[in-house]
Structure 1
Amino acid sequence: MSASLVVGAQWGDEGKAKVIDYLSEKIDIIVRYQGGANAGHTVCVDNRKFVFHLIPSGILYPNAVCVLGNGVVIDPDAFISELESLEREGIAASDRILISDGSHIVLPYHRLVDEAREKAAGGNKIGTTKRGIGFCYADKVSRTGLRIGDLYSGLEERLKYIVELKNQELVNLHGLAPVSYDSLLAELKEFAARIKPMVVNTVIYLNDALKSGKTVLLEGAQGTALDIDFGTYPFVTSSNTTTGGAIAGSGISFQHLNEVYGIAKAYLTRVGEGPFPTELHGDEGEKLRQEGREYGATTGRPRRCGWFDTELIRHSARVNGLTGIVLTKIDILSIYDKIPVAVAYKRDGQTLPGFPTLGLERVEPVYEYLPGWNTDISGARSWDDLPPNCQAYIRKLEELTGVPIRFVSVGPNREQTIKLA
């Protein structure tokens, strides 16, 4: 009865998809447990690049079953588009995907309201992807959402009530045109017919599978510092990205969870608004962005870049119960003679005891400077292939974070992964 979890330990974009793909080779079931099509998970295999938004990254292994858990919000258009894209690439996916009947559905008015609210916010915008994810979760909490299971029971009555309610908001609050009930009903019926063989009670399925000895890998989107409770609120996503969210968004018992891998870049990036203590600006920020090719897989937006922040990782370890770290993109740091690492925070002249709930925008990072290695490490395939200064950098991060580094990624491809003893 073995379940493992891959969670972003920073602000997302840490390279989770590559790690999930790497770990999935011997996994029976991969479960996406939260988020929606705002996520962009990139996997490179045999010089082919795949970007996943909803379907779990482990779908590339032909024997893996991929599950969209009850914590995921599903955009029908995005899901079908992704499914068809895989099939065009010769990857049979339809018979290996299961969808929770408790998952909520992202509908057109969610996207319309998201874009209108973000536009109206001006200088107070959050920096959403405008894909309606947050407003779908808001409807879930306010109990005005539509679930996958509703597609097969009482859809007309439920949808009519919701559309009437939402059209009042679109017209009266935002001055937008109403959505058509008839058109939306027809689209949802077509979607329901397409996915019907995939829809199950995934809570029962997953717990029965674990009891029968199947292995399960839980895949999260975004990162710990974007968690609705433990992130840099209000500049966060709309779901729980952390270990608690994995349990709530999949329905598996915590007793099955054996490993929690925190995925962390060897430096740091963030997309959208919000505080970022170690952020680099101007030419230095652009240098790291270009070297790391730091642009969003979903939006194409340039990512903000900065140095590794150990307080953030200690916070991730605390709220997730990390059993190990997978350190990604360390090859990008090969261009530096010395590498700053933030080891503590100060605010108003006082050292803080840890990652603060409030006021992160006012902290000043305290840096240690580690020697660089100035050599290409993308061809390294073992610990001994790494230069001594690179090895020292990794060991220093272990010491500072208090979490063992279990794997190191030196490039985007599967084979560019080093397992540490």
Structure 2
Amino acid sequence: MPAIAIIGAQWGDEGKGKATDLLGTRVDYVVKFNGGNNAGHTVVITDASGHTEKYALHLLPSGILTPGCTPVIGNGVVVDLAVLFEELEALEQRGVDVSRLRISANAHVIADYNRTLDKVTERFLGSRRIGTTGRGIGPTYADKMNRIGLRIQDIFDEKILTQKVEGVLDLKNQVLTKIYNRRAATVEATVEELLAFADRLRPMVCDTGLLLNEALDRGETVLLEAGQATLLDVDHGTYPFVTSSSATAGGACTGSGIPPRRLDQVIGIVKAYTTRVGEGPFPTELFDEFGAHLSKVGAEFGVTTGRPRRCGWYDAVIARYAARVNGVSDFVLTKLDVLTGLDQVPVCVAYDVNGVRHDEMPVNQSDFHHAVPIYEYLPGWWEDISHARTFEELPANAQAYVKAVEALSGARISAVGVGPSRDATIAIHDLI
């Protein structure tokens, strides 16, 4: 049985949670392998009686909502422990069994000083800000790379934890007090905050790399769920307006401990249009009534931050890039229903950069910043498609849109989302 990676193919918010949840009933483990509580996703579940429940998840893998599935927070994740237990408690209050959650002993912990530094650094950058969520994600990853980070396993050894916090605060307090004129963090307060979680955390922590490889040896299926998306990847995204981790298929291996040879399939999630949150270039961004339409009908506000998302037309150049970087085998096209009611729907097929056509992503960031989209215009549709459950039930123009996007994007489209609920998805090809 396979290890499968689910990857965002744009700038995030494509609907990875829904896709993961759809596959969750057919897999044994769902693994979050990168990011932290800086990117949320919404899962809408409708039961047999028609009752709908909406869950907003920020740090937890969406597999936590699937009975019998083991959710895993991998070593590539950075964990805010207060947020973790807030989410767990909220789910427990709603009757969700969270006892199967497993957390890597090697995952890094977001400390109080990381959150403070994230916020003050963004303010200091002013117009050059990155647009972070201010939750300490970037500084925690920086500490990891600088080899001064705190890991989950450190919380179970008070002496080691204290020594590490003392060492890192010798540096961080210099920055906080002398550069940003902020109050110094204290060793005692930081250690006390983290130790308070030790007893509740201990039963969840294990060698998750070993756990997952043994599961694959037994023939079980492991689903690897990305936080953020390809264009936010620290190496392959629109740097520097990116996240601080590897959100591509390569990151699925390093962030989980599963070797590349065990990764059988890569599913790319792509919206029927494009959105992004935060700063940075966005060639198809709309500032007119069509952008307002996509924002309103698509309810384009961040799950974690509440920030309005920037909206634009579908960008096939980005989709082709994501297909190439990740080795996408299948796309899931989400939120097709949001395009209902438009006379025509533009699709970006290439860029014009200073009079030169680019059919692929420009290698130079300055060129991408100045890219002007070249559009093809497809006929729209007015019929309500939210109840369609087969491809043939879609209006002819909606079918034509899906086929055109597929031809432009570098991989087959195997499923189409036509609404927010769990069952509002059209399966074209089997994903597993």
Residue equivalent to 1:121: 125
Residue equivalent to 1:375: 383
1:34 CA drift (Å)? 0.1
**Identity rate of aligned residues, in percent?**
49
Distance 1:66 1:133 in 2: 21
* In the alignment, structure 1 residue 143 sits paired with structure 2 residue 151: no
Distance 1:236 1:194 in 2: 33
Alignment of 1:149-228 (within 5 A): 149-153=153-157, 154-228=160-234
* In the alignment, structure 1 residue 362 sits paired with structure 2 residue 367: no
Residue equivalent to 1:66: 71
Distance 1:158 1:241 in 2: 28
Are the aligned partners of 2:317 and 2:359 in contact in 1 as well (CA < 8 Å)? Answer: no
1:381-415 Cα deviation digits (max 9, x unpaired): 11111011111100111111121000000001111
1:183 CA drift (Å)? 2.0
Alignment of 1:257-268 (within 5 A): 257-268=263-274
- SS of the equivalent of 2:25 reads helix
Distance 2:163 2:268 in 1: 44
Are the aligned partners of 2:234 and 2:244 in contact in 1 as well (CA < 8 Å)? Answer: yes
Residue equivalent to 2:135: 131
Are the aligned partners of 2:5 and 2:265 in contact in 1 as well (CA < 8 Å)? Answer: yes
Aligned partner (choices 410, 422, 428) of residue 414 of structure 1: 422
Distance 1:198 1:190 in 2: 15
1:272-313 Cα deviation digits (max 9, x unpaired): 110000010033321221111101111111111000000000
CA RMSD for the aligned pairs?
A: 1.0
Are the aligned partners of 2:349 and 2:373 in contact in 1 as well (CA < 8 Å)? Answer: yes
Moved more, 347-356 or 72-81: 347-356
Distance 1:419 1:353 in 2: 29
Aligned partner (choices 319, 326, 349) of residue 313 of structure 1: 319
* In the alignment, structure 1 residue 302 sits paired with structure 2 residue 308: yes
Residue equivalent to 2:49: none
- SS of the equivalent of 1:250 reads coil
Residue equivalent to 1:274: 280
1:353 CA drift (Å)? 4.4
Aligned partner (choices 72, 81, 92) of residue 76 of structure 1: 81
Residue equivalent to 2:241: 235
1:201-253 Cα deviation digits (max 9, x unpaired): 11111111111111100000111001111111111111110011111100101
Aligned partner (choices 248, 271, 280) of residue 254 of structure 2: 248
Matching residue's letter, 1:16: K
Matching residue's letter, 1:263: I
Distance 1:34 1:266 in 2: 25
Matching residue's letter, 1:412: P
Matching residue's letter, 1:118: E
Aligned partner (choices 367, 386, 392) of residue 394 of structure 2: 386
* In the alignment, structure 1 residue 100 sits paired with structure 2 residue 104: yes
Matching residue's letter, 2:192: A
Moved more, 165-174 or 404-413: 165-174
- SS of the equivalent of 2:121 reads helix
* In the alignment, structure 1 residue 22 sits paired with structure 2 residue 22: yes
When normalised by structure 1's length, the TM-score is: 0.98
Runs of 4+ residues deviating >4 angstroms: none
Distance 1:199 1:79 in 2: 13
Number of residue pairs aligned between Structure 1 and Structure 2: 420
Distance 1:158 1:114 in 2: 20
1:361 CA drift (Å)? 1.2
1:186 CA drift (Å)? 1.6
1:176-204 Cα deviation digits (max 9, x unpaired): 11122212212211212111011111111
1:61 CA drift (Å)? 1.0
Residue equivalent to 2:41: 41
